[in-house]
Every structure is written in C-alpha cells, then in structure tokens.
Structure 1
C-alpha cells in the first residue's frame, strides 16, 4: 500500500508543557478507523524528537494503538498569500525611495528659487549712472518669498511623509527578522507525520476515535515574573504569576493550554549502580556477560527482501536526488542538504566506509575461534606443512611504506564496550545496511541531517538574554520540581523572542512594615512582608509593584518556600523621620582602676507624618567579642533577632526595636551598652567611637 492511499488525519495542537529546557506537546486527531487500521496523522513539527512520540486513544472505544512511528515526507509547498512579509518589505522600500526622491527634488527647487535675485546690467565706461527702480526689487523679493513659503510648506509635508515611510519600513523589516519559523524553507517541503496502526475497530468506517499524540521538542524556555498589586493600609494584596516564554520549535502555539514546569526534560532516568568494594588481592574485573553471538542463518533472513528488487524511493532520498532547491530567504542553509548522488539520477549511493566491528551481536571474534581472513571465502587461511608434519607459518608480505598495520586478533571471549551494553541506546540495523550490519544491534541511532539542523537551530532559544532580574527556573527551584498551569489558553509564536503569558493569581499574605538602620543611614524604608500561603514555592524573578493603582518599581523577588516569608523593599518612606544621637562616657573601675569602662548611650527619635498608623523596626548593633577578658553589658529593652543561614539573616550583634506609631505621633527610644576592657588594652582605631 502506497503512502498516498493511507488515510490522513489532520491534528490540532491542544496543550504544551514547557520545561526548563524543551517542551512536551500534545496534539489531538480524530477520524474514522479504516479497515486496515493504518492512518497518518499530519501536522507534526520538523524539530521533534522521534524517540519521544507517544500515542494513546482517548475514551473507552475498544481501539488500541499497536504501532506508531515518525515518518518524513516530501511534498509541494503550501500556496502562500500574495502579500508575504518579504514582498511587503520590498513594497515599503520602494515607497520610501520614491518619497525620498520627491523630497530631494523639492530641496533642489528650493535651492533654485533661493538663488533668484536682481542682476544689474554691465555699465560701459562712457555711460552715466542709472537709477534702479525700487518697485522692481520689491516685487522680485515678494515673488521669491511667496514662492519659498509654498515650497517649504510642501517640504514639511514631504518630510513627514518620509518619516512615516521610514517607520513603516523599519517595522516591516523587524517583523520579517522576527517572523515565525513555522513556514516552509524550500521549494520541496518536508513534512513530518505519525504513521499509526490501530486495532480493535468493529468495522470499516464505523468506529470514530480520537487519538492523542505526545512528543518532545527542543527550543522552548521560560522564566517566571510577577505583578504585585497592593493598597496602603490593607493587609492583603494580589500577586499574579506571569511567565516570559520563548520558543523556536518550528510551530506556532495558537490557543493552547500552557503549563510551566521547573523539571529538566533531559534529566537522567537510568538507575545508578552501586559497585562493591573488595579488600584483598587485586583481581581483574569480570568481563560483562551481556554479549550474545548472532543467531545462525541471519544472512538468509534477508534473501526474500533482496529478491524483491530495489525498494521504492523514500521522501528523504527524493529530496536528496532532486537537489536542494531553496530560495534566498530560506531558513535552512544549503549545506544542510544531503549530498547529491554522484552517478546521476537513481544511481545507488556509494557504499559507506567499513564500520567498526562492534555492536550487539557483531563482535569481530566469535566465541571459540579467531576472525576469518578476507583473503579466502570461508575464512580458510592457506598454510604450508613442514617436513616434520607440523604447520608452518604462512608467507607474509612486508607492509607497504606508510600503511597501517592492523593488530593481530586476540583470542578469547569478546569484551563489549559500555556503549554496546546500553540496551536502551542500541538500534537495529535495517535491511538496507551494507555488509554484515543487517539485522544486528549497534550503538547510536540514524539521524536525518536536516532534522538535526532544525533541532540545533531550535536550541538557540536557550541562549536568549534573560529579562531584567529574571532567574532560570532550574537555578531557583533547588532540589524540588513544581508545575504551574495557566488559567486560560494563550498564543506563543515560534519567533525566538520573549512573550508574556499570564498563569494565574497566587494567594499571598501581605503586610506593610517600615525598617530603618539609623546608625548607617537616617532614612526609614518601606517594605512589604510577603508570605507564601500555597503548597508550591514562588520562584525567584522580577516583580512589578503597584501601590494604590500607581506603578512604583520593579523589585527582585527571591525564592519563597511554601509557608515562608520574605521582605520586598519599596524604597524610602518620606512621611516618617528618624534621628539618632549617641553619647560616650569613658571611665575606670575596679579596685586599682584596672578596668576601662566605655559607656555608650543611644537615643533614637521617630516621627510619623502619615495619615495612618505604622509599625517601625529600628535596627541597632552591639559589639561582639571573643576575648574572655572583655565584657559587654547591655541596658535597653531591645530584642535579639533569631539567627539564620539565609542571605537576610541578621549579623551577629544586631538588636531590634519594634514599635507601633499612630498617625502624627512621635516616639523616643533609649538604649546603651557598656564595654569593660582591661586598662592595658584598647579598641583598634581608638576607644572614642560611636
């Protein structure tokens, strides 16, 4: 059955899960199952990973999928609209050039009119002086002024028209440069489809089923962003999670359900192996036992295939034989095309270089003997017998100068490499392989060079510069993975630029607090204490803070674990004033005045000029010491904050005053500490310091 007779189903992209690198797409296709159960689902992108295709039947219809594979087909390109981006740019460029030429001609006319002026005739030597009529001079001046006024008015119109044409050309050029990659790239378009075989249909055309195709694609990244709305005086607010998504997968995501995950789509899935530690005499490592000798009669398995004649030309071969016909605006380079056949149309491809004699079931030395020599069919090597009845070594010709001498075969059981024992990565060589590779397992998988280039270009989306204060999700998620589902469907074109997608509203707790460190700076800062009330972490990223319906600033939100609380700074609070005064008194104490006492007194005044009550935290510091002879006595009603390991953990010696200030009220805070040191010692830099 040919590819044209197989029933084709169109598919629609339904949902996308964007991971830290890459995405998992889900397409839906629906149709009636034919009698043979073979259908082709079209619409898959060129950059998909063939090994990631998963297909299932939705609903309890009794139909199941027995086979699913990815196929590449060649077909004529889809008819394009008459007004493409390239033609629009060419049209706007012509408009711009025509407008510029009209402007230049107008400037030339203005220059000619400006040069008009009275010219007096040459006077002979014997002629008397003549009087010039002033009316003629004035009439000429009025004519030039009137003419220049009209010309300059037209010049202003042409300049405005030229600026508009230039702006339109820049916009069209920028749109062309950032155009979606979901477009044909050559005169011969290659499309990707999924060849499915369905089983369990009751009759031809009677079973209408819906299948879901899931596949992975590279070239998709995302970073979180937030928008925080808050009203002063309220204890609550609204935090909206928005994601910046960029993708260059080769297909536009139009009206899809988007989910964002912090997991790595390429993470390892193989289980670690714990090797034993042996104490004793050194022993060689045991040979791996995963190799098996190829079955007998493997060569005769393909006799019927060889007798059937040459296989029909595939789509990729048709593209290679017909040449890589591209245009000037192709998105895939000509160097990506497979090389043409060297012997004309339909000529068989040249044999590949001899493969390395490795592979699962393709070891150079079968068990129990050496490798047969290619000098004689069957591997029999001619040998001469000596007079004593023993075997004499065969005559060996000296190697040619510069020729590589192959090492002698090593007798014994084969030793497969680690790549040959990786069963998940082994690929079964097909009947079209040359030599003794057919029907055997080898490491690696065949890849289409054009598809490899599509995936390589899709990976460039991961190299985009991040938006301001953005952090990649893998760096902020830590050792936990989270998933965020968007509340509504969204559109993300395949243009490799950042697009904002609104995910949803996150319930958070907000509390306005004011913080000051008067010993460093006499300024009170406004902060928002943000608490995470969900069971998911809030990832690090930029947050746009809107207070009382006015945009205030864009701050950096750190990673906030479930139930955690962090402060977000909003800048200085001009309505709250703080002043700080210190006093130091130095004296001696002890029986012999052998102790120096440095008595520090701290006085802080706060004034609330706002129309609402506020809560202010005042941070002070007390010296810390590791000397047993130095003693520090505190006398204040401040508190010692809890120590932590995070970046916002207080420094040793930090003390905190926390008080509530009503609207228009003032408050004074007094505290101090005394440092007792031996008289023979002094503080570095002098004792009299604040």
Structure 2
C-alpha cells in the first residue's frame, strides 16, 4: 500500500499530560473507514516516540485497530509558503553585510588618501642641483588630504553607527527565532509525521491516538489571597509549563503529573546467594532454537512478486527508555528465502512482558546489513581490512561452545526490533538489538530535551524533588494554550481547599519583633508540592514566599514578615544564692517577664517562645516556674528545639498583657564554674 492510495484523516490535539520530563499527547480524529482499512492520520509532531504510539476506537464496540506505526515524509516548501522569522533573520543578515561592506570600502579609501605624500620632481642629468617644489603645491596637497579625510571619517562614523544598529537588529531577530515556536517547518524542507493505522471494521468511527514526546517540563506555583479579620483565604494552584515538542498546544486540556516518564517499569531480578561449592551460572531464559519452518513463513509474500521500493520504518527503541531513534530506509526487493541459521542468538520481544523460556526464536544479523546496494555486474567493494582479490580468505571463527551469551543490549526488551518481510538476508521474522540512527530525528529530540536545562523561576522546585516517593496528578479546570517556544508559560490549574488561620509569632530572647504568619492545613487527598507562593492580603500584594511540601493532613507556616502593630518587650533578672546544709549548692534564679501590646484594630493570637536550659548531668537540677507550657510534639506546624516553652494568648484590640516565667538552676558547688556568664 503506497502513501498515495492510503486515505488521510486530519486530527486535533485534545489533551496533554505533562510529566516531570516529557508528555503524553492525545489526538482525536473521525472518518469513514475505507474498504482496505488503511488510514493515515496526520498532524503528529516531529519529536514523536515511535514506540509509544497507541490507537483505539472510541464508542463503537465492533471496529478495532489492528496495526499502528509511525511514518515520516519530507518535501520542499512551496513558493506560497508564508515568510517567517527565519526569512527576517536572513534579510537582516544581508543588510548587515551590505553595511559592513560599505564600511570596509570607506576604511580602504581612508588608507589610500592618508598615504598621499608629496613627491619632489626628479633631478635632470645635466643639472647638478635639485629642483625645488613650489610651497603652494605642498599646501594644496595637504589641504586636499585634510578635506578628504575629514569627509571620509565623518562617513565612517555614520557607517559604524549603522553597522552597530544592524548587528543589534540581527541579534534581536536571532533571539526571537530561537525563542519562537518549533511548530513551523524548517528553512526549506517541510517534514510530515503521520500514524498509519489498520482498522478492522466498517462505517464511520472516531479514533483516539496517544503518543509520548520529550521536551516538556513543569514546576508548581501558588497564589494565596487572604483577608485580615475574616479567617478565610483562597489558595490557587498554578503551573509554569515549558515545552519544545514541535507542536503548539492550543486549546488543550492539560494535566500535570509528578511521575517520571522515563522510569523503567520492568521487574527487578532477585538472584539467590548460596554458600557452598560454586556452581555454573544458569543459562538465560527467553531464547530457543529458531523454528524449522521459519524460512517458509514468507513464501506467500515472496510469491506475490517484486514490489517497488517503499519507505520502510525501522522501528527503534523508545527514547523515553534510553534507546536510539529510528531511521527511514528504502528497502530493496526481498531476496530469496535463506536457509535456517545454524546458531541462535539471544533476543527478546519489543512489546509486552518477559516471555517464558523457549517462547521465541531469534537470528544473527548478516555482515552486509546496512551496506550500499551494488549494481549488477559490478565488483563488490572491499570492506575495510578485507583480503585482496584472489587471496584465500581466512576461515570464519568458530562459534563459542554452549548456549548463547547475550549482551546487556540484547537483554533489553524495549530496545529490540522485529524485522519485517522486506528486510535483507535472514533478518526477516527475527528480533535484533541494534537500531539504525537518524540524525534528523535525533536533532529534533536534542532540541526538544534542551528545555530540561531551563533556569527555574524564583523559589521553584522540580516536582520529582518535592513529591518524594509518591506520585500525584493535577487536572487543569479549563483548557489552555502553551506554544512550543521553550519558555515558561503560566497555566491556572484550579483552587485548592485549605485551612487557613492567622497567627503571630515571636522569640523575644533572640529578637524583640513580632512576625505575622499564616498557618496552612492541607485537607485534601493530594500533596501540595513545594514552590513559590504569591501572598495577597486585602487585595494588595505583600510578598512571594517559599511554600514547603505539604502532605495530606499536614500543617505548615508561611511567614508574612514583621507585624509593626504588635510590640513585645522582654526583661530578665538573675539572683544567685547558696542553699543546703553547708551551702554546697549554688542556686541561679532566672526570672523572665514578657510584655505585649496590640496596636491593631482587631484581636490577635500571639505565640511567644522561650527556652530553658537542658542538662544531662543528674546532679544538676532545673526547676521551672508555672506560666508556660512545653509544646506537644506533632500538634503544631513546626519542629521545636529541646527545652522550648510556649505561651499562647489571645490579645484583644488595643490591649496589653504581661507574661511572667522563670526557672532555677541548682548546681553542686564542686561542679560550679567560678565566674563566667550566669545569665545564659
């Protein structure tokens, strides 16, 4: 089936799921199934992963998709192709070179004029004296040179300024081209990527195509709106998305996932450890002798006659799994059926799970695979290191004894390629680990994956670093547009219900300043990932803070800065005395008094932190006074240091309060230091 006889359907990008790196796109198309069932769905990007293509029929229960593969074509742009930024860059470069050429010519003229010197007349043979030059001639020449140099230097300054402006315009246009969407074709070639499907059924059907692409990243961001005195607020989840997949996401439903799209999903191999006499390693599973009837499997295909050369897609390993990209070759006519090979080679299936031992066959790649075709009657070119014509070739090396020893590449399920009936030699119907390399496809994917190295927005954290060992997915409430330009774009995901209350915190022993905080509690079943949060208080932007990862049910504080309306003062006193029968115990009596004043027009809840000493010597005793309480571990949003004591009180508007506390340190005289700081 050639490309011209296959019916083409246009498709529309409907939804995209952006992972930590990479994305999975979903396209929809509708049409009437032709009699042969072959459909070509257009619109796929140039960075599509061939191994990730999936297709299914929506709604209908009878028709189904029996085959799906990716094909790529290329052609010259027509004369009516729209001019874009690339043409603008070329035009500006030509204009810049023209200005540079005029500048160089003026500089050459300046050198020529500056080199003018007066030459005295030659002396005659019969005249013993030198001939004198008139002074006016010297002055006229100097005036001429000065006048010409003045005009040329003025012209040179104008051209240098014009050249500077032209070079700046070229740099600006080149930067715009680098930041432009990669959805447009290249300079002179338009490449088309499509999915060739085989549909088993009749009538009108709706198809869904799903495929993976590299070159997409995202980081979370938030916006918190809070009104003072109301005790309520709104937390809006937004995302910064950057993509260079080769297609613009216009009006698509976007979902954001923290999972790693490149993570391998094969099961680990648990090898037993034995103590005793060493035993030979068991033969690897998943291989067997090629079946006896494999050579005649394609007899009906060969009996149909020689077919013209058509583009054959060499399916390659998924780049998401670390494989090499595919290459598109022109397959020659199929050779006669080869004899079955004598030695098996390890292979594994490209799709599906690991097969049971003895469930597949595999073959060795011929030595001439990938060589250029030779014209009939022409001598075959000698390979590098081959013996000269007429020489006796050395005998081939004998295969190693025992079962095959597969390499790590041959044990990789995702990197194997199943060769079709149009392959050369004895490759037909067998699996191979190697994959051809297409530099054009590799360049597109290299440019797409460059977005992973974009500088992150301020205080942003990548989702894989903040999600930990769990994966989450966030679906955007509305459709969004994200062009393929490799820069950050903001997408609104939706509002997240969170608990919110305002608290004021101070540690007067460190700093006599009261800080305003917002205590967030996550009441949803999904984690809030770490990222920047823009805090708006009473519809006025206050600051941008860093929100830590908030697990389901977790509580965290977000600082809002100093609260100038609430003041705190701390006073301490120390009284040293001796006690005991012989005064052998030193008593250090510490008193702490904290005074608070609320100058705000609303009541506030203040939390005051103090700290008492902690000792590891059983002979040193610390006795606390009533007035504060030890924090309950796990009851608050913070991790408290050892010895922390907390006062919590509600302070009405315009009110003041005084908090008294203290502690006594009893030290035996033999363990007390003479002098030193008694206050800390």
TM-score normalised per structure 2: 0.75
Contact 1:363 1:414 in 2 (8 A): no
Task: Tell me the equivalent position of 1:182.
Answer: 183
Task: Tell me the equivalent position of 1:57.
Answer: 57
How many residues align? The count is: 567
Task: Tell me the equivalent position of 2:311.
Answer: 314
Of the three residues 563, 587, 600, the one matched with 2:553 is 563
SS of residue paired to 2:671 = coil
Out of 412-421 and 591-600, give the one that drifted further. Answer: 412-421
Over residues 620-658 of structure 1, what are the superposed CA-to-partner deviations in whole Å (9 max), with x where a residue is unaligned? Answer: 000001111111000031111123599941100000111
Change over 3 Å in CA distance of 1:460–1:90 after alignment to 2: closer
Of the three residues 425, 429, 440, the one matched with 2:419 is 429
Q: Is 1:501 paired with 2:491?
A: yes
Task: Tell me the equivalent position of 1:250.
Answer: 246
Contact 1:31 1:209 in 2 (8 A): yes
Contact 1:74 1:315 in 2 (8 A): no
Task: Tell me the equivalent position of 1:117.
Answer: none
- The Cα of 1:422 is off from its aligned counterpart by 4.7
Task: Tell me the equivalent position of 1:70.
Answer: 70
Distance 1:162 1:507 in 2: 58
Q: How do 1:409-428 and structure 2 match up within 5 A? A: 409-417=399-407, 419-423=409-413, 425-428=415-418
- The Cα of 1:170 is off from its aligned counterpart by 7.3
Q: How do 1:13-412 and structure 2 match up within 5 A? A: 13-60=13-60, 62-77=62-77, 82-88=82-88, 172-201=173-202, 207-299=203-295, 301=297, 308-309=305-306, 311-314=308-311, 358-360=345-347, 361=361, 409-412=399-402
Out of 279-288 and 89-98, give the one that drifted further. Answer: 89-98
Aligned-residue CA RMSD (Å): 3.9
Distance 1:170 1:188 in 2: 24
- The Cα of 1:359 is off from its aligned counterpart by 3.5
Contact 1:73 1:315 in 2 (8 A): no
Structure 1, unaligned runs of 5 or more: 100-160, 202-206, 318-335, 349-355, 365-402
Contact 1:290 1:421 in 2 (8 A): no
Distance 2:407 2:95 in 1: 66
Over residues 540-573 of structure 1, what are the superposed CA-to-partner deviations in whole Å (9 max), with x where a residue is unaligned? Answer: 0000011111111100000111121110001001
Contact 1:601 1:671 in 2 (8 A): yes
- The Cα of 1:278 is off from its aligned counterpart by 3.1
Over residues 171-196 of structure 1, what are the superposed CA-to-partner deviations in whole Å (9 max), with x where a residue is unaligned? Answer: 65543221111121253332111111
- The Cα of 1:421 is off from its aligned counterpart by 4.7
Over residues 568-589 of structure 1, what are the superposed CA-to-partner deviations in whole Å (9 max), with x where a residue is unaligned? Answer: 0010011111111111111111
Q: Is 1:6 paired with 2:6?
A: yes
Distance 1:667 1:169 in 2: 68
Contact 2:363 2:427 in 1 (8 A): no
Q: Is 1:672 paired with 2:662?
A: yes
SS of residue paired to 2:444 = helix
Contact 1:359 1:440 in 2 (8 A): no
Structure 2, unaligned runs of 5 or more: 100-161, 315-324, 335-342, 348-360, 365-392
Q: How do 1:650-669 and structure 2 match up within 5 A? A: 650-669=640-659
Contact 2:70 2:313 in 1 (8 A): no
Over residues 225-254 of structure 1, what are the superposed CA-to-partner deviations in whole Å (9 max), with x where a residue is unaligned? Answer: 001111111211111101000001011101
Of the three residues 623, 632, 635, the one matched with 2:622 is 632
- The Cα of 1:459 is off from its aligned counterpart by 1.0
Contact 1:61 1:209 in 2 (8 A): no
Q: Is 1:489 paired with 2:479?
A: yes
Of the three residues 529, 537, 541, the one matched with 1:551 is 541
Distance 2:18 2:582 in 1: 76
- The Cα of 1:45 is off from its aligned counterpart by 0.7
Q: Is 1:512 paired with 2:513?
A: no
Change over 3 Å in CA distance of 1:523–1:254 after alignment to 2: same
Contact 1:72 1:315 in 2 (8 A): no
Over residues 568-623 of structure 1, what are the superposed CA-to-partner deviations in whole Å (9 max), with x where a residue is unaligned? Answer: 00100111111111111111111111111111001111111111111111100000
Over residues 456-490 of structure 1, what are the superposed CA-to-partner deviations in whole Å (9 max), with x where a residue is unaligned? Answer: 22111111111110011111111111111111111
Over residues 267-310 of structure 1, what are the superposed CA-to-partner deviations in whole Å (9 max), with x where a residue is unaligned? Answer: 22212333334343322222234321112254455567667346
- The Cα of 1:408 is off from its aligned counterpart by 5.2
Q: Is 1:540 paired with 2:530?
A: yes
Distance 2:484 2:413 in 1: 36
Over residues 488-545 of structure 1, what are the superposed CA-to-partner deviations in whole Å (9 max), with x where a residue is unaligned? Answer: 1111011111110011111112111100001001110010011112111111000001
Distance 1:464 1:21 in 2: 12
TM-score normalised per structure 1: 0.74
SS of residue paired to 1:453 = helix
Distance 2:457 2:636 in 1: 25
Out of 286-295 and 445-454, give the one that drifted further. Answer: 445-454
